[in-house]
Homo-oligomer: A and B are copies of this chain.
Amino acid sequence: MGDKKYSVGVDYGTESGRAVLVDVSDGRVIASAVHLYANGVIDDVLPGTDIRLEPDWALQDPNDYTEVLKHTVPAVLQESGIDPEDVIGVGVDFTACTVVAAKADGTPLCFLPEWRDNPHAWVKLWKHHAAQPEANKLNQKAREMGQDWLDRYGGKISSEWFFPKVWQTLDEAPDVYAAADRFIEAADWIIWQLTGQETRNNCTAGYKAIWSKKDGFPTDRFLGALDPRLASVVDEKMSRDIQFLGDKAGAICRTAAEWTGLKVGTAVAVGNVDAHVSVPAATVTEPGRMVIIMGTSNCHMILSEEEHTVLGMCGYVADGIIPGYFGYEAGQSCVGDHFAWFVENCVPASYEREAAAQGVSIHELLEAKAAQQKPGEHGLVALDWWNGNRSVLVDVDLTGLLIGQTLATKPEDIYRALIEATAYGTRMIVETFTASGVAVDEIVATGGLPERNKLLMQIYADVTGREVKIAASKQTPALGSAMFGAVAAGKAVGGYDSIQEASAAMASLRDERFAPIPEHAAVYDKLYQEYVILHDTFGRGANDVMKRLKAIRAASLS
């Protein structure tokens, strides 16, 4: 046992899980390991069967989650050569809302032969979208019954969230519903596997299961109005005992110690969500500094001391990100996906050859060409709705728009216009927050995109008029989980007593910052006004052409 103490963070993504082992004193990553899920995203055929899934389904196999523990934690211990005695804590973050149906002992129903062929017995992954009918009915009933909590979620509960997913199981497979003793977030289920004890975290409860510290879950009366059999779902199959981020959920149990090589008794933090856990790992534990996790989509996280109703946000939860603050979340559903779509579908062969000749990727070539332009030079404006609008319109049926093309328009023009469109979408979110009383003074970017695309960062600074900084860690979720592991352990054993302390010691920013360039910002102010007009015309009902086109499309395919 040495002087230096370490913490393990495990980050469960959509396709794989990653463990990092970090130095608690400074957050340095000593070792890292990734394990791909054998069954990945199950959206075609149920494993080992020829049972086909409907198009909107997305399931996972919880065995893949425990396999991540069995492979990655031993790997980081071995790679680092660290004595497990010196690992003082473990934290876990997960995609959400990802729901496991389990027996009372935590055994997932899909592990049981009698349920294995029923898709509802498997894990419903965050992007399982087949519960839209239930979400629609839930939202309608909530409005009818004047449920106050709707305001906390921008007026709409998503089909991705907890109750629509559980209700879909009840609707379509009442036998599975009846057989499930527990419905539980995967984040909490994996903590259960690590500690041997069932716990529930306030982050997923708050953002995904309509729970609040003040009011708890929706009333049994409301849930019973959805379906009488749902009236007692909270007490029967969930729990009202909610633990808070920063708390210790328990300690590594004997089984988990055998799987991981960690010592029995090592502190385990309360489960967390990948986006939310990234905030302190991006150095943010106070109001005013927005964290944007930029990957396939954008997730915007901001803290405030006050409770504000902000139109069209994804939700806010007291103590939902950092204890002591209201944590607000908003999102854009198409960012990296946007650029990937463009590169796959819209970039000519001549550019592929040019990129190959220069030895760069097509993204790099497009960025280099687009970076030579001045703002406004391409004459284009786009709406960033290729995958709907998550905030502030909360409307999955919106689609894309590009305006201003001429015969002289080049691929890099459109590429830059798409980058700008996502920046305008972020500015719309920033301005909606500030107008509602939630200040946004600077932006800290993290995720896969910021390190790869400087033009993107500069455009975000120029468009939002805020300085943009970048988190130093390339693995902020795993680092954040390790930080919460160190907090679960506590100062007495070499950890920290609060996530603020852990963040101050273990998180840092890159030296490179992107300040708004005044001449650029002036042009983007004008272009943003055009974006706003188009946003309101096509997003707020003046012209519902996007929805009518979807209806025509559906009719033509039927």
Contacts and interface: CB of A to CB of B under 8 A. Distances in A.
Interface of A: 334, 337-338, 341, 344-349, 352-353, 374-381, 386-387, 399-407, 409-411, 523, 526-527, 530, 533-534, 537-538, 543, 545-546, 548-550, 552-553, 555-557
A549 B402 contact: no
Contact of A545 (B534, B550, B557): B534
B345 A410 contact: yes
A402 to B, nearest CB: 5
Contact of A348 (B337, B348, B404, B409): B348
Given A386-B407, A401-B401, A549 B345 contact: no
Nearest to A542: B537
Given A401-B401, A556-B375, A407 B348 contact: no
Contacts of A555: 376, 523
A385 B404 CA distance: 9
Given A403-B399, A409-B345, A543 B533 contact: yes
Contacts of A399: 379, 403-406
B403 A401 contact: yes
A553 B378 contact: yes
A79 B352 CA distance: 46
Contacts of A533: 543, 545
Contacts of A387: 406-407
Nearest to A333: B407
28 contacts: A334-B407, A346-B411, A347-B348, A349-B352, A375-B556, A376-B549, A377-B556, A379-B552, A379-B553, A381-B545, A386-B406, A399-B403, A399-B405, A399-B406, A400-B405, A400-B409, A402-B402, A402-B405, A404-B545, A523-B552, A523-B555, A526-B552, A527-B552, A530-B545, A530-B548, A533-B545, A534-B543, A537-B543
A356 to B, nearest CB: 10
